Amino acid sequence: MSGIDFFKRLLSGQALESMQQKPLVQAAQGMRTLVVDDSPTIRAVLGKMLGQEGYGVQKAVDGESALELAKAEQPELIFLDVVLPGINGFAVLRALRHDPLTQHIPIVMISGNQQATEQFYVQRFGADDFIKKPFGQREVQQSINQLVRAGRLPARVPAPAVTDATLTPYEELRSTLSGMAA
């Protein structure tokens, strides 16, 4: 996503409208995520949301542990709070973007601060998306959907449908005969 597109999305409701028109696309089952927030409530709620969608979740309470986990575990997606004890989210974002091991990982910044300047700096430092607190499962799903559609995350492969081709010859004959009797 270009910087201009990101900024337009932040300033308009068009992105929300366009997301509602298209079905949401999920990322690959089991995608490894890292949730970084000093609030145990946010870590628990966001972790549960992601877990319910079939993603693996790791959590960090501060910037230092986030950097260590990101380098060691190589998550496929990071949700990163702006306001953290010690190293703030901006510094963590810059460090992740400058490290060859982590520079490719999509990062969604989260914050309760409503100031547009904060959103501008999040984009300027290389975040892929921004979600305002409080947020719900729909906002998380939309952010992941956008990253999948942009090619930053792999899409979930739909489960194969059960077809007649998976029936044994006996089951196929039985199905045919029951269809004729009806």
* Preceding peptide of 154 cis, ω within 30°: no
Q: Is the pLDDT of residue 8 over 60?
A: no
Residue type present at position 32: R
Q: Where are the domains of the chain?
A: 3-181
Contact 13, 38 (CB under 8 A): no
In this predicted model, what pLDDT tens digit does every residue of 97-111 receive, in sequence order?
999 999 999 999 998
Confidence of residue 163 (pLDDT cuts 50, 70, 90): low
pTM given for the model: 0.75
Confidence of residue 17 (pLDDT cuts 50, 70, 90): very low
Q: Note the maximum CA span of the chain.
A: 73
β-bridge mates for residue 59, sequence order = 35
Terminal CA-CA length for the chain:
55
Between CA 88 and CA 99 the distance in angstroms is 17
In this predicted model, what pLDDT tens digit does every residue of 45-77 receive, in sequence order?
999 999 999 999 999 999 999 999 999 999 999
In the block, tokens 């194969």 appear at 160
Count how many residues are written for the chain: 182
The listed CATH number (3.40.50.1100, 3.40.50.2300, 3.30.70.3270, 3.40.50.300) that belongs to domain 3-181: 3.40.50.2300
